[in-house]
Every structure is written in C-alpha cells, then in structure tokens.
A and B are shown apart, each in its own frame.
Chain A
Amino acid sequence: MPLIEVEGVGHVYGAGAAARTVLADVTVTLSEQRVGVIGANGSGKSTFARLLNGLVLPTSGRVRVDGLDTRSQGRGVRRLVGFCFTDPDAQIVMPTVAEDVAFGLRRRGVPKDEVAARVASVLAAYGLDGHADHPAHLLSGGQKQLLALASVMVTEPAVLVMDEPTTLLDLRNAARIAEVVAGLPEQVLLVTHHLDLLDDFDRVLVFDEGRLVCDDAPGAAVAHYRSLMAATP
C-alpha cells in the first residue's frame, strides 16, 4: 500500500477577518488498506480528504503520497489518488456513460483500442455494460455513483478517496457501493456518515472542529464519535 503522510497540516479558508480554520495541526501516517474518516458536518473531514490528492493544498504543514508532495507534485499525486465525490452529477463530465469512463484515459493519451477495451471491462465489472451509450444524466442515483466510481477506477489509481459516496443514495444502492468498495484491492479512504460501512475497516479517524481527536480501530473510534455527538448540545 502507498504511504500517505500528513505532517502538521492546517488549512484556513479565506483571509483576514473572514478567515476560517477548518483543519489544525493534523499529523497522521496511513498505510492500511481500509481507512475510515468520520465526524460531524463541518468537522474538517472533507477538507482532509481533498488534501490527499491535492485538490486542497495545506496552509501549513505538508502532505505526501508515496513520497510525492501534493504541493509540488500535484499531477503525480492525482494519478496515484483517485477521488470520488458525494454528488456524482458534479463528477460526470461527458454526456454518455462510456465516454465518461473513457475521459481520464483519453486525457492520458491511452491508445483508442486500449481505451475501448478497458472501458468495456470496467463497465462490465460495475454492471453498467448495458448502458454504455446511454446519456449519463438518465441513470438512477445509484448507477450514477457506480459510473463515477468506474470512471475513477478505470485509470487504476493506487489509492481511492471517497467523500461521502453513499450520502445521496437509498439503502440498497448504498449497500451496492459498499459491496463494490469492499472488493477493491486498492487502498481506500472513505469519508462517511454511514458508520456501519466501517465495521471491517482497519482504522478509523475521527475529526471534531478541525482536529483529529481519535485514531483507532472501528469499534473504539465509532464509540468515541457517538460520545462526542451525545455531548454536543
């Protein structure tokens, strides 16, 4: 598994009087295959996830993935770290299903024949092979999230970061996404409010008001998070 190193990271949105600290002094090293991230809304967990592939750069400290610094080697980091957003509609950039899956490969200059083969293979693996030429916007919510995941995984990232991928889905579709994620051999960092998804994870981080307040096995971390929520008025 690639080593993710977060060293003394802080992040502030805005400047001057409007400055808002969303992360403060976070230091953590991640090498496990399954890492969960939980916390209340606004706790900094989505910003933490975005730091890992350089979508957000730290205001202080540094983030390295497999030795690559997100600040100076952002493109290299993004090739290693795939990112799945909460709302698949914002992630789907091409009009049809197959074209969207092919997007990342085409940007990397993969030959057309290889693109077609890899797209067909990934669509079959995610149960979307019957929808290849369908307009992406006509898919169901669950299918859109599967498409978003397929579009990321076709580029074969070493790490997959998912920011609340099941929040907009019903139970059945959330379970389908969880099943697909569970079968991935890649390192996965999952930000979620669905605590049951983390049962089999190796490690869970709990964020509260921009700070990493707990780093433990799923059972202990979830218990810590519940006690935090119970204590907050």
Chain B
Amino acid sequence: MTPLGLFLPGTSPLHRAPAGLKLLGLVAAGVVSVLLDEPWQVLVALGVVTVLYGVAGISLRVAVAQVRPLLWIALGTAVFHVLVNGPARAFVVVGVLAVLVLLAALVTLSTRTTDLVDAIVAVCRPLRRVGVDPDRVGLLLALGIRCVPVVVGLAQEVRDAQRARGLGASPRAFVVPLIVRSLRHADALGEALVARGAEDPVPDEG
C-alpha cells in the first residue's frame, strides 16, 4: 500500500533540502499558481512537477496515488467549468489544483514529519506573544498526519463490519460508527499523549 503523503526515505537533493525552504517554495508555488491562465502554462507546471518527482526518486505510481482522492472533486469542478467557462478554463482550474496537491504531497513525501514540525514551530514562534503555543501547533500538524492512516484503517474496519452483517452501502451505518470509533481513538490518543509527556512545555533549544 502506498502511504498517502507519508515520508519516503531517500537521499535526493529534495530530501536533503531544509524543510523551511520547501515550505517556502510551496507557498511561492501557491502564489504563482493564481497567475496561470493558459493551458500551456499549466502543462509546463505539470512538467516541472514531474521533473521534481523524478529528482526526488519518487515513482509515478506514488505520485498518482497522491491525487487519486481528488478524483471526484476534480471531475465535478471540470464539468462545472466546461459548462460555464469552456474546456480550456476547466483544464486550467483542474490542472492547477493537481499541481498544488502534487507539490504539497512532494514536500511531505520528501520531508520527515519532525523536520516539518520544527519548521512550522519556528515560523509560529513570534505568535507566542499573542497567546499561540507553537509547540502545540507543531504537535497538531504531526497528529494530523499520523491520523490519516488511522482513520483510513477505521473506515476499512467499519466497511468490513457492514459487509459481514449484510448491510450493503448504507451511509448512516457507515458514518455513525466511524465517528464513534474516531472519537474513541481520539480519547485514547489524548490519554497516551498525557502519559508520554505531551503536556510538558518543550524547553527552547540553544
């Protein structure tokens, strides 16, 4: 199974680049993306992203897995824009979406979570003056990444239980137990965080 957006170890220049620089690049890409207006520009951007995945040594299969969850959103967006603005605009909008998701995934695939957390904590440090705890923000990010495969696993278990009881594809029979299990997991995770010292203030380094 290809881990969605989880670190893939490697020694490429992208893996070695500082996490802060990669996040900055991602923000810059987001800003530049609003300037993309022509299909050829989007094609160039997709080409650049493909090259970057190649540089990072990450396979096309893994890259495709990163955008697969977007399929239905992309399809709906494309249909809307084809009907309202024409096929060229639809290609630009969906293409930009894919480029940004692929770039974001590339950052997480080529960066250890702890490095990402450290970069986010450093960026958030000035916010301490207005009452934001940067370490909590970092912990939140790490837990968010960690919880993706957990919730996917819970959803699979609920789906299996549904099938075993012959319930078919009932949305309510799927969503309610998934929410209950997720809340139970969150409760247990909270207890584990306390047991592992997450409530301790992290001493500043240096």
Contacts and interface: CB of A to CB of B under 8 A. Distances in A.
Contacts of B203: 108-109
Interface in B157-206: 185, 188-189, 191-200, 202-205
B92 to A, nearest CB: 34
Contacts of B3: 135, 137-138
A21 interface: no
B196 A90 contact: no
B189 A90 contact: yes
A14 to B, nearest CB: 15
Nearest to B146: A95
A53 interface: yes
A108 B197 contact: yes
B6 A155 contact: no
Interface stretch (A3-11, A33-41, A98-106, A218-226): A98-106
B197 A53 contact: no
Interface string A74-87: 01001100110101
A90 B192 contact: yes
A170 interface: no
Contacts of B192: 85, 90-91, 93
A107 B195 CA distance: 12
Interface of B: 1, 3, 6-7, 9, 112-114, 142-143, 145-146, 149-150, 153, 185, 188-189, 191-200, 202-205
Interface of A: 53, 55, 75, 78-79, 82-83, 85, 87, 89-96, 99, 102-104, 106-109, 111-112, 133, 135-138, 151-152, 155
29 contacts: A55-B195, A75-B199, A75-B200, A79-B197, A85-B188, A85-B195, A87-B188, A90-B185, A90-B192, A91-B192, A91-B196, A92-B146, A93-B146, A93-B193, A93-B196, A93-B198, A94-B142, A94-B146, A96-B6, A96-B112, A96-B113, A106-B202, A108-B203, A109-B203, A109-B204, A111-B205, A133-B9, A135-B149, A137-B153
Given A78-B194, A82-B195, A89-B153, 18 more contacts: A55-B194, A79-B197, A89-B150, A93-B146, A93-B198, A94-B146, A95-B142, A95-B145, A96-B7, A99-B142, A107-B196, A109-B202, A133-B9, A135-B7, A137-B3, A137-B150, A138-B3, A155-B197
